[in-house]
Amino acid sequence: MKAARYIVDFLTRRGVTHVFEMAGGAIAHLLDAIEEREDIEAVSMHHEQAAAFAAEGYARTSGRVGVALATSGPGALNLITGIGSCYFDSVPCVFLTGQVNTYEYKFDDPVRQNGFQETDIVSVVKPLTKYAALVADADRLRFELEKAWAIARSGRPGPVLLDIPMDVQRAEVDPERMAGCTEQEDAAPDRSEGLESVMREVSCRLRSAMRPIVLVGGGVRSAGAVTALRRWLDRAKIPAVCSLMGLDAVESDYRWSMGLIGAYGHRYANLALANCDCLLVLGSRLDTRQTGTRPETFARGAKVIHVEIDAAELGRKVGADLAVRAHLKPFLEGMSDAWGHDPEKPRWKLWKDRLNRWRLKYPTGNAAADAEETIDPNRLMRRLATATGRDTIVCLDVGQHQMWASQSWPVGGERRLLNAGGMGAMGFGLPAAIGAAFAAPGKGIVLIAGDGGMQVNIQELQTLVHWRLPITVLVLNNRSLGMVRQFQELYFEGRTTSTVEGYSCPEFYKVARAYGIPGYRASSWLDINEWIDAGVGGEGGGPVLLEICISPGSAVNPKLGVGRPVEDMEPLLPRKELSRQMIVPLLEESED
C-alpha cells in the first residue's frame, strides 16, 4: 500500500478522528490519504500555530493523543510554539511534518539549504519534544510511528515529531514486512510492594499532622487521576489547594477546596499553604509562579512530600522530606485503599476553622462589586459561569482574563478549565477551543480571551464559521495588554510602552459579524444580564461572540510581588494584621 495510506491507517486504528493542519505541498500525499477515508477528517486551520494548539486542545479534552500536520519549512517552523506548549504542559501530541524528497535533502552537507522550503525541523524541535526523527526509509515507518506513539503517551506525556519526506510518503510499503517497535520509555514504578509501603507512610504523615494541605498540580489531570483524587479527598477530607494547571481537578464545591495558589492565587489559599505543617505535592514541578521568587520560603513550616512521575523534578525547586517517583493514578487509587473510611480527624478542627476564617476575611475580587455599576471582572466570571452547564469546557487564552477566570470560575462535574501553563502563549485559546469542540461534540465550549490574545489567532474565526462549531467566544476588552501593563505600572513608573501607548484593537463584535458570526457588545451589567437571559450560544447552535468592555485600568488582585513570600500579596496587608494571621514566623521582603 502507499505509505501515506499506511500512516493514516495507523492513526485511525489508534482512535484518531481529527487531525489539524494547514495545507502545503509537502503533506499533499497525507491529505489525499485522509480524504479517501470516512473515519478521519482533516480540519484545515489558517495558521500552523493554530493547528498545533488545536491538537493540544483535542488531546487535553479527549484524553487521547492529538495530531497536527504541517508542510516543510515555514509550516513546520510555525508549529514550534504549540509543540513547546505540549512539552511544558505534558500533553501527548504527534506532529507529522512533510519534508523535501530525500534526494533533495542536504543531510550532512555543509550548506544552508538544498531543496525548496527544506528545513532541518528535527534538530530545531529536539529540545521541545520527547522524541523527534527524520524517517528517510519507508520501511522504517511502522517502527518510527509505533515508537513515537508509545513515547508520547508513556511516563510524563508530551509531544513527538516525525519528519517524513515526500518520496517516503508516496513509496509503496508492505505493512506485514515492516518491523515494529518493542521499545518502551523508562517508566515510574507502578503499584509495587515498595510503593504500597510508601502510601502507608504518606497516609501516616498526613494523619499525624495538625495542619495538612494537598497541592494538586497538572500531573493529576495528565495522569488520568482526577476520579481517584476526588475519591481520596472525599474520604480523607484534607484541605486542598491547586496550581493553575491543577485547577479543574478539585471541584469548587468540595468543602475543603481552598482554590488557586501562587502569583495570582487567592490570598487565603496562599496563607493556607504558608502555614501548613505537612504538604503533599501531587504532580507539580513547583515553578516560580507557584513558589514566588523566594522558593526557600515556600511552605517553610511544613514537611514536604513530593509525588511526581518525572524524577528530574523531585525536590528540585523545593526540598522534599519524602520524594516519591510514581504514576499518580495508581498512587491515588492506593491512597484511597490505604486511608480506608476513617472519620474526619478531630485534631484538624482548629486548622479548618482558621481556613474558613481566611476564606471569609479575604475574598478575591472587589467586595463591594455587587453594589456597583462598574463591571468587576471576578464577579463577571462568577455571573457568566452560572449561565453554563457543569460539563462545559472553558478554554482560556493568556492574560488578565485568564487569571480572573482561574480565580473565580467554579469547576465541578465534567467542567474543564483549559489553561496554557508553561509556554503561556497568547493566541492559545481560540484554536484550543476548536480542538476541544471536535474532541467533545455536543458539549458546551466557552472561550474566554482578552483583546490582545484574541488578535493573535483571530483568523480562526473562519474555522468556527466553516464547521459551525458551537463555541461561545467571550472577549474581555480593556483596550490594553493588561497583564504587562499592570507589571509596567508597578515596576516602570507607569510607563506603558506598547501595552497602552502604541497598542490598539478593533471592535471585536464587528469583526465577528464580518466573519458571519453573531456579534454583540456589552458595556454594563444590564447588557450582560440581557444577553445571558436571551440564551448563551449562537443561532442554530453555531458560534457567537460577546465583546465585554471593562475598565482600562482593571487589575488582577491579589498579586504576589517580586521578592515576597507567597503569603505576602499585594495589596499588602498591614504588617500587624499579616503577623496575626500567620502561624509560622513572618518574614520580611527580600532586598532583591
Reported as a single tens digit per residue, the pLDDT across 431-455 is 999 999 999 998 999 999 999 999 9
**Interatomic CA distance for residues 175 and 154, integer angstroms:** 24
Measured CA angle at 463 (ends 457, 469), to 5 deg: 115
DSSP conformation letters of 109-164: -SSS-SSTT---HHHHHGGGSSEEEE---GGGHHHHHHHHHHHHHSSS--EEEEEE
- pLDDT score recorded for residue 390: 80
The closest of 258, 221, 252, 254 to 236, measured between CA atoms, is: 254
With a CB cutoff of 8 Å and minimum separation 6, the contacts of 562 are 293, 491, 590, 592
- pLDDT score recorded for residue 373: 73
CATH number of 372-549: 3.40.50.970
Mean pLDDT of the chain: 93
CA 434, distance to chain mean position in Å, is 15
Region for 157 from its dihedrals, namely left if φ exceeds 0, alpha if ψ lies in -120 to 50, beta otherwise: beta
Alpha helices (runs of H) in 412-473, residue ranges in sequence order: 429-439, 451-454, 461-467
- pLDDT score recorded for residue 416: 93
CA 182, distance to chain mean position in Å, is 31
**Interatomic CA distance for residues 464 and 107, integer angstroms:** 40
Range 139-146 average pLDDT: 96
Range 80-96 average pLDDT: 98
Alpha helices (runs of H) in 521-583, residue ranges in sequence order: 525-533, 575-581
The closest of 431, 457, 463 to 543, measured between CA atoms, is: 463
Please provide residue 442's backbone torsions phi and psi, each rounded to the nearest 5 degrees.
95, -15
Q: Tell me whether the omega of the peptide bond preceding residue 110 falls within 30 degrees of 0, making it cis.
A: no
- In angstroms and rounded to an integer, the radius of gyration of the C-alpha atoms of the chain is 25
Task: Give the domain ranges of the chain.
Answer: 3-177, 193-361, 372-549
**Interatomic CA distance for residues 301 and 212, integer angstroms:** 11
How buried is residue 271: exposed, middle or buried, by Cβ count under 10 Å (0-12/13-18/19+)? buried
Distance, first Cα to last Cα, the chain = 64
**Interatomic CA distance for residues 213 and 401, integer angstroms:** 28
- pLDDT score recorded for residue 115: 87
- pLDDT score recorded for residue 376: 93
C-alpha cell at 484: 504587562
SS3 471: strand
The closest of 51, 107, 46, 105 to 80, measured between CA atoms, is: 51
CATH class of 193-361: alpha beta
pLDDT digits (tens, 9 = 90+) for 156-167: 999 999 999 999
pLDDT band at 143 (very low <50, low <70, confident <90, very high): very high
DSSP assignment letter at 14: T
State the DSSP H helix or E strand holding residue 544, giving kind and residue range, or none if neither.
strand 544-549
pLDDT digits (tens, 9 = 90+) for 103-141: 999 999 998 988 899 999 999 999 999 999 999 999 999
Q: Tell me whether the omega of the peptide bond preceding residue 410 falls within 30 degrees of 0, making it cis.
A: no
Task: Output the CA torsion sign for 244, 245, 248, 250.
Answer: negative
pLDDT digits (tens, 9 = 90+) for 464-518: 999 999 999 999 999 999 999 999 998 899 899 999 999 999 999 999 999 999 9
Cβ atoms of 432 and 57 within 8 Å: the answer is: yes
pLDDT digits (tens, 9 = 90+) for 571-591: 999 999 999 999 999 987 665
Which residue matches cell numbers 492506593? Answer: 334
Using the predicted structure, report yes or no on whether residue 71 has a pLDDT greater than 80.
yes
**Interatomic CA distance for residues 190 and 440, integer angstroms:** 30
- pLDDT score recorded for residue 15: 94
C-alpha cell at 264: 495570582
Cβ atoms of 381 and 407 within 8 Å: the answer is: yes
Size of the chain, expressed as the number of residues it contains:
592
Q: Which fold has domain 3-177?
A: Rossmann fold (3.40.50)
Alpha helices (runs of H) in 538-581, residue ranges in sequence order: 575-581
C-alpha cell at 40: 478521519
Cβ atoms of 543 and 471 within 8 Å: the answer is: yes
Please provide residue 549's backbone torsions phi and psi, each rounded to the nearest 5 degrees.
-85, 120
pLDDT digits (tens, 9 = 90+) for 306-364: 999 999 999 999 999 999 999 999 999 999 888 877 777 788 999 999 999 999 999 99
Mean pLDDT highest for which of 52-56, 106-110, 197-201, 563-567? 52-56
DSSP assignment letter at 277: S
Using the predicted structure, report yes or no on whether residue 368 has a pLDDT greater than 70.
no
pLDDT digits (tens, 9 = 90+) for 243-299: 999 999 999 999 999 999 999 999 999 999 999 999 999 999 999 999 999 999 999
Could you give the count of Cα atoms lying within 13 Å of 300 in the half-sphere of its Cβ?
16
**Interatomic CA distance for residues 87 and 44, integer angstroms:** 23
- Residue 123, beta-bridge partner list: none
Measured CA angle at 423 (ends 147, 222), to 5 deg: 50
SS3 408: helix
C-alpha cell at 278: 505537612
Cβ atoms of 135 and 162 within 8 Å: the answer is: yes
Using the predicted structure, report yes or no on whether residue 182 has a pLDDT greater than 90.
no
**Interatomic CA distance for residues 405 and 50, integer angstroms:** 22
Same topology, domains 3-177 and 372-549? Answer is yes
With a CB cutoff of 8 Å and minimum separation 6, the contacts of 146 are 180, 181
- pLDDT score recorded for residue 465: 97
How buried is residue 112: exposed, middle or buried, by Cβ count under 10 Å (0-12/13-18/19+)? exposed
Cβ atoms of 464 and 439 within 8 Å: the answer is: no
The closest of 509, 488, 510, 491 to 500, measured between CA atoms, is: 488
